Amino acid sequence: MSRPPYVSFAVRPKGRRAGSAEIVEAVMAEIEGGTLPAGSRLPPVRVLEQQLGISKNTVQVAYDELTARGVVETREREGVFVVGGASVRQPVPPLPVLRPLPALGPGTPRGKGTNLSAVFIDPDLLPQERLAECARSVLRAPGLATHYDPQGYPPLREAIAKRLQARAMDVDPDEVIITTGSQQALDIVARALEVRRIAVEDPVYAYARLLFENLGLALTPLRLDPFRGIDLDAWDRALAAARPGLLYAISSFQNPTGYSYASHELAGLLALAARHQFAILEDDWGSDMLSGSEYRPMLRVLGGKPVLYVNSFTKKVLPSLRIGYLVAERSLVPTLVAMKRLGTLGAAWLTEAILAEFLDRGHYDGHVEAMQRATDARYRACLAVLEETMPQGVRWTTPGGGPSLWLEVPRSVDLAAVSHELAREQVWIDTSVAAFSGEPHLHGVRLGYAYLSEDALRRGVTMLADAIRTRCPASRT
């Protein structure tokens, strides 16, 4: 590491030129005043010589005197530094007072132990080597881009629009905004909304709820029971009363319930939006996760351009790329890009270029198909071990594939105790308490099967079943 910059100090000569005594005086005054703190580097002799128009010797005499007084020291090849003991502290400003830490729920550790609630995909199923190839190819092009496009790398926006068009969406690359994961897409929309009330499923993805609350939005929770589906009449009443500006809906593999909207629920939701005049933000992160038959059309396809649409490559390609996107009707794009600029100005160009290359080479579809086959197999294995091990009274949804289902446990089972017991064995579950608005109306666990090998899943689920059984009066017989 080269030398730190040197700190200037003001010498005010009494005569035409400064003498060494005046230099000593100036340095002492700044040290005592605290503006030359311990560890500061003084200007090199040649610099001061030039600045003050005096001889090298005058400066050196001053520095020798300061050294003799013990307030500075010379470090070889580094320069002259103010020594610790001599410095006077400045008045200390107070610590910033921050809002209380939001309740993010228990962190689910990765990489060690068995995380039964992860909705991530097993890293072994992710296309790391192909991405590295794409990165090397991008770097072979002459020069890295200096600047970024605040809306996102244009070839990536084109590749995304092309994919969506193939899925019946009427969309142009100009209507795509690249974001740092889908989280930033939610952030942008929430910042920009004029009506500061938003309707959300209850339970809902905890980071969305906390984000909206942190930005000062009022929430209207809409109860979602993954076993019964959506009670459209109840939603109608709640929405008529609350008049939100927007409804945020995770239409496929809703987090944390794993629920996917049925066709008539999608249509019903659009009818409610038209009746009560709220906009829709569709989070479609999950639709690529399902290999086939349970797939429903996107709200953005059914309802057209007014529907805001967010999706992400994060989980499906590589979480560490952090690339998501927002699709918005053309007239909304300038404001939404401005909101992105307020948050981060832009995002890393290189990762956007790598993903564009990955899509351009046609790797994504093959990857998704292979990933779906693997997760479908894990899904079936998960159902088998649930059938085999879970005591009576425990039930679960059957989403048909994908990353996760909802496991509902009798109210009498103390899930906090189950969680605590499993954690001692390095097995983690998330009871999603932070995902509910108020008192949870479900009593269960998000069970993810895409992250774990079949062996780890079997072992973890068996331990979970045992921990539930010992607390489950109905099945002690």
Q: Which of residues 189-208 bind its own copies (CB under 8 A)?
A: 189, 191-195, 207
At 192, give phi and psi (nearest 5°): -85, -20
Does residue 332 bind its own copies (CB under 8 A)? yes
Rounded CA gap, 352 and 145, in Å? 11
Q: Is 27 in the site for its own copies (CB under 8 A)?
A: no
Asked if 45 touches its own copies (CB under 8 A), the answer is no
Give the count of residues interacting with its own copies (CB under 8 A). 136
Out of 17, 21, 32, 47, name the contact with its own copies by CB under 8 A: 47
User: What's the CA gap between 71 and 27, in Å, rounded?
Assistant: 9
- For its own copies, which stretch binds (CB under 8 A), given 28-36, 57-65, 424-432, 454-462? 28-36
CB of 360 to its own copies, least distance (A): 11
Task: Count Cβ atoms within 10 A of the Cβ of residue 60 and give its class: 0-12 exposed, 13-18 middle, 19 or more buried.
Answer: middle
Query: Which listed range, 15-23, 64-72, 140-148, 218-226, lies at the site for its own copies (CB under 8 A)?
Result: 140-148
Q: Which two tokens stand for residue 53?
A: 């128009």
Contact between 54 and its own copies (CB under 8 A)? no
> CB 265: neighbour CB atoms within 10 A?
19
Nearer to its own copies, 99 or 424 (CB): 99
Close Cβ partners of 299 (under 8 Å, ≥ 6 residues apart): 249, 251, 266, 269, 270, 280, 282, 307, 309
Restricting to residues 209-228, which ones interact with its own copies according to CB under 8 A? 210-211, 214-216
Helix (H, G, I), strand (E, B) or coil at 92: coil
Residue 395 bridge partners (DSSP):
408
* CA-closest candidate to residue 212, choices 179, 245, 251: 245
319: contact with its own copies by CB under 8 A? yes
The interface with its own copies within residues 385-444 (CB under 8 A) comprises: none
Query: Where in 99-128 is the site for its own copies (CB under 8 A)?
Result: 99-102, 104, 110-111, 120, 123, 126, 128
Token pair, residue 225, equals 């029971």
Centroid of chain to Cα 243: 29
Nearest distance from C-beta of residue 286 to its own copies, angstroms = 12
| Whether the Cβ atoms of residue 390 and residue 465 lie closer than 8 Å to each other | yes
Distance between CA 18 and CA 340 in Å, rounded?
Answer: 53
Within 13 A of 83's CA, how many CA atoms are on the CB side? 13
| Binding flags for its own copies, 265-284, as an x/- string (CB under 8 A) | -xx--xx-xxx-xxxxx---
> Among residues 8, 55, 57, 412, which is the contact residue for its own copies, using CB under 8 A?
8
Residue 30 or 283 with smaller CB distance to its own copies: 30
Kindly identify the residues of this chain, within the stretch 83-102, that bind its own copies according to CB under 8 A. Answer: 89-102
Query: Which one of 144, 370, 416, 417 is in contact with its own copies (CB under 8 A)?
Result: 144
Select the span of 43-51, 227-235, 412-420, 423-431 touching its own copies (CB under 8 A): 43-51
CA 261 vs CA 71, 138, 287: distances in Å: 72, 39, 11
Residue 2 parent element (H or E): none
- Residue from 302, 374, 423, 456 touching its own copies (CB under 8 A): that is 302
Question: Whole-number minimum distance, CB 416 to its own copies, in Å?
Answer: 22
Min. distance of Cβ 297 from its own copies in angstroms?
Answer: 5
